[in-house]
Amino acid sequence: MTDEKNRRGEGRRISERNADHVRAAIRDELAKDESIDAAHAPDAGTPVDAAPVIELQNVFLAFDTPILEDVSFVANKGETICIVGESGTGKSTTLKLILRLLIPEKGRVCIAGKDITPLSFVEALGVRQKMGMVFQGAALFDSMSVFENVAYPLREHTDLDEGEIEQRVREKLQFVDLDPDRVMEQLPSELSGGMRKRVGIARGMANNPEIMLYDEPTSGLDPLTTGTITRLIMKLQHELNVTSMVVSHDIRSVFRMATRVAVLHDRRIEFFGTPEEMAASDDTYLRDFLGGN
Amino acid sequence: MKLRKVQDYFSLAGRALAFIFARPFYMQDLIQQMDEIGVKSLGIVLLTGFFTGMVLALQSSVSLARFGATMYIGSLVSASMIRELGPVLAGLMVAGRVGSGIAAQLGSMRVTEQIDALNTLGTDPIKKLVTPRVLAALIMLPVLTVINDFVGILGGNVISTVMVGIPSGLYWRTVWDQIGTDGFALRVIPTDFIQGITKPFVFGGIIAITGCYFGLNTTGGTEGVGQSTTRTVVMSSILILVVDYFLSQILLSVFAP
Ligand SMILES: Nc1ncnc2c1ncn2[C@@H]1O[C@H](COP(=O)(O)OP(=O)(O)OP(=O)(O)O)[C@@H](O)[C@H]1O
Ligand SMILES: [Mg+2]
């Protein structure tokens, strides 16, 4: 226990020394990205004016031990909220709460102003159709080709004919920078990790959902592919005004795409605010977290 | 805790069965599962059935010889195959081959979040994955059992003709006599057949639901998948043998001569 504290203390001291560097680096990063992403920059006014689309109110959840305690935050229309935090703090779990794959013990989860916790299983299936999810490991159906994977939500929920489905699948694959003719007939096991993630994004957005959830869309990828996927998420938000929630460990891309950042720590939301506020914050844990990156 | 699991098991069974009659029907999945469960199990069923019939004939010829009744080998083999060994052996073989496969497949879908993905894309995993497997097993296990019975009796025929010296004609006549002696339900269906078909129907349900139950409830990564498959084979084999006893008792009392 005391060992633990000592190590923490040490980490804190080191990071305090580094804190100024870190903040300077982040400011640089923001300045650099502003020029690149000027076209994609979220309207400063949007988060405040727009209606809340995703809302967690005082959510409690436990498996064997408590995972989330009194977690609340709001994502307004067109916002990109990034969730960061250490491994195992419940980031994936939070996304599953929004999808109603899990039900909170206490508190409410509202989608477009409607509480989804008391819904029946069938009603929940309906709510999920408004959402697209990109899973941590892509979760492509490994018995189906790439084409069938992306076409799956279309076959389930639309009455598009075969030609329209193919057209839509091609369009979505192109959107994620994949060559439809090359990948469509391949099986997920034949793709690289980055390609699988991009197919996962294409499948998530096939149905043109209003809400996109991404679980570590860039983890384990090289910096270039990470950049591509970050730009993709921003493109989706910008062009289609999709409300997004992104779990990410990659602070650089978080600062690029987030309108607001939620930091999960110790079962609670340690911080919820804009990236600028986060960079300027004096909170020791936040500085630790940024400094350690 | 344990009680809760039993409850979950039956609620899974109930929902899977209820979905048989609800749209949309996943026809392609059903056909694929019928192929997987039925057609691909044909080999082992043929092999085990044939050898079981042969050993039955061999063993009973020794006992029957003591009473000078070797000519009744046919009735003994057919009664044992149709009532007991056919259904139980087919059930155990399919539990090992198919039950474990179902648990492994659904288990790895669970740990790679594919089950969550199905849910997210608005599909009920029970309807898409469990119902086709249960329905395919309900249909295919009786079929496999009838085939198993037939090759078993055929195996008995080979041994009784070659090693005991009973002419084939006599063998088959005793087989038919045996099937007729216990009487007929609705005048045409031999009661032996009713026993012999009811059992595999129930066993098919047990195998598919047990495999799906352990598969869907897999936790703990790839290691968990291994545990689920083992549990499925052990649990469904036990259930088959236990349920077989009680089903026999019920069926015998219903169709008491
Ligand atoms: N189905 C479950 N049953 C029991 N415990 C679970 C389950 N799912 C998650 N947990 C536990 O909940 C905690 C949070 O898990 P979660 O997957 O949300 O973490 P995470 O923040 O996404 O971590 P990572 O960054 O490693 O993906 C973990 O301690 C995990 O052990
Ligand atoms: Mg996670």
| Per-residue pLDDT tens digits for B182-233 | 777 666 677 788 888 999 999 999 999 999 999 999 998 889 999 999 999 9
Distance CA A101, CA A97 (A): 6
Q: Determine the pLDDT at residue A21.
A: 61
Distances (CA, A) of B16 to A184, A227, B2, B21: 33, 44, 21, 10
> How many Cβ pairs within 8 Å bridge chains A and B?
48
Distance CA A38, CA A40 (A): 5
B59's CB contacts (< 8 A; 6+ apart) are: none
Burial group, residue A6, by CB count within 10 angstroms (0-12, 13-18, 19+): exposed
Nearest CA residue ID for atom 30, ligand 1: A88
* B51-84 b/e (C-beta count within 10 Å ≥ 16 → b): ebbbebbbebbeebeeeeebbbbbbbbbbbbbbe
Q: Determine the pLDDT at residue B1.
A: 62
Nearest CA residue ID for atom 7, ligand 1: A63
> Are B120 and A152 within 8 A, CB to CB?
no
Mean pLDDT (chain B, rounded): 91
Distance CA B254, CA A184 (A): 58
Q: Where are the beta strands (DSSP E) in chain A?
A: 52-62, 66-76, 80-85, 106-111, 114-115, 131-134, 211-215, 243-247, 260-265, 268-273
Interval A18-39 mean pLDDT: 53
Distances (CA, A) of A71 to A217, A252, B32, B175, B201: 23, 25, 45, 73, 50
Q: Could you tell me the distance, in angstroms and rounded to a whole number, from the CA of residue B48 to the centre of ligand 1?
A: 46
Q: Is the pLDDT of residue A12 over 70?
A: no
Distance CA A54, CA A222 (A): 31
> Are B124 and A121 within 8 A, CB to CB?
yes
The answer to ipTM > 0.90 is no
For residue A248 and ligand 1, the question of a CB distance below 6 A is answered with no
> Are B121 and A153 within 8 A, CB to CB?
yes
Q: Which ligand neighbours the alpha carbon of A68 most closely?
A: 1
Nearest CA residue ID for atom 4, ligand 1: A63
Q: Which of A247, A215, A90, A184 is nearest to B117 (CA)?
A: A215
CB of B123 within 8 Å of a chain A CB? The answer is yes
Nearest CA residue ID for atom 26, ligand 1: A87
Highest mean pLDDT among A26-35, B23-32, B59-68, B134-143: B134-143
* A47-75 b/e (C-beta count within 10 Å ≥ 16 → b): beebebbbbbbebebeeeeebbbebebbb
- C-alpha angle B68/B193/B162, rounded to 5°? 35
The answer to whether residues A169 and A161 touch, using CB atoms and an 8 Å cutoff, is: no
CB of B116 within 8 Å of a chain A CB? The answer is yes
Look at A14-18, B20-24, B83-87 and tell me which has the smallest mean pLDDT.
A14-18
Residue labelled with tokens 């477009």: A112
For residue A65 and ligand 1, the question of a CB distance below 6 A is answered with no
The answer to whether residues B45 and B152 touch, using CB atoms and an 8 Å cutoff, is: no
By DSSP bridging, strand A66-76 and strand A52-62 are antiparallel
Q: Is the pLDDT of residue A23 over 70?
A: no
A143's CB contacts (< 8 A; 6+ apart) are: none
Q: Give the model confidence (pLDDT) of A184-224 as tens digits.
A: 999 999 998 889 998 999 999 998 899 999 999 888 778 88
Q: Which residue type, as a one-letter code, is found at position B157?
A: N
CB of A153 within 8 Å of a chain B CB? The answer is yes
Distance CA A129, CA A146 (A): 20
Sheet with A80-85, strands from edge to edge, namely: A131-134, A211-215, A243-247, A80-85, A260-265, A268-273
Please give the residue that has the higher pLDDT: either A33 or B82. Answer: B82
Distances (CA, A) of A105 to A92, A117, A131, A171, B7: 17, 10, 22, 41, 21
Q: Could you tell me the distance, in angstroms and rounded to a whole number, from the CA of residue A135 to the centre of ligand 2?
A: 9
Q: Could you tell me the distance, in angstroms and rounded to a whole number, from the CA of residue A91 to the centre of ligand 1?
A: 8
Instruction: For residue B18, give the 3-state DSSP assignment.
Output: helix
Q: Determine the pLDDT at residue A222.
A: 83
Look at A61-65, A236-240, B80-84 and tell me which has the smallest mean pLDDT.
A236-240
Q: Determine the pLDDT at residue B134.
A: 96
Q: Which of A91, A183, A109, A94 is nearest to A140 (CA)?
A: A183
Residue labelled with tokens 């056909």: B31
Q: Could you tell me the distance, in angstroms and rounded to a whole number, from the CA of residue A241 to the centre of ligand 1?
A: 30
Phi–psi pair at B21, nearest 5 degrees? -105, 10
Q: Which of A93, A99, A247, A249 to mutate to test the pocket of ligand 1 (most atoms within 8 A of CB)?
A: A93
Q: Which of A73, A77, A10, A88 is nearest to A43 (CA)?
A: A77
Sheet with A114-115, strands from edge to edge, namely: A66-76, A52-62, A106-111, A114-115
The answer to whether residues A149 and A141 touch, using CB atoms and an 8 Å cutoff, is: yes
Q: Which of A135, A39, A247, A184 is nearest to B113 (CA)?
A: A135
Look at A28-37, A236-245, B48-57, B222-231 and tell me which has the smallest mean pLDDT.
A28-37
**Helix intervals (H) in A37-120:** 46-49, 91-98
> Are B119 and A128 within 8 A, CB to CB?
yes
By DSSP bridging, strand A243-247 and strand A80-85 are parallel
For A156, the closest of B114, B116, B122 (CB atoms) is B122
Q: Which helix (H) or strand (E) covers residue B88, if one does?
A: helix B86-94
- C-alpha angle A80/A81/A82, rounded to 5°? 115
Interval A32-46 mean pLDDT: 47
Nearest CA residue ID for atom 19, ligand 1: A88
Please give the residue that has the higher pLDDT: either A32 or A161. Answer: A161
For A139, the closest of B113, B123, B124 (CB atoms) is B113
Which residues of chain B are within 8 Å of residue A142 when distances are taken between CB atoms?
112, 114
**pTM across the whole model:** 0.84
Distance CA B29, CA B213 (A): 18
Q: Which residue type, as a one-letter code, is found at position B186?
A: L
Q: Give the model confidence (pLDDT) of B141-197 as tens digits.
A: 999 999 999 999 999 999 999 988 889 999 999 888 888 777 776 666 777 888 889
Q: Where are the beta strands (DSSP E) in B137-206?
A: 184-185, 189-190
- C-alpha angle B186/B187/B188, rounded to 5°? 95
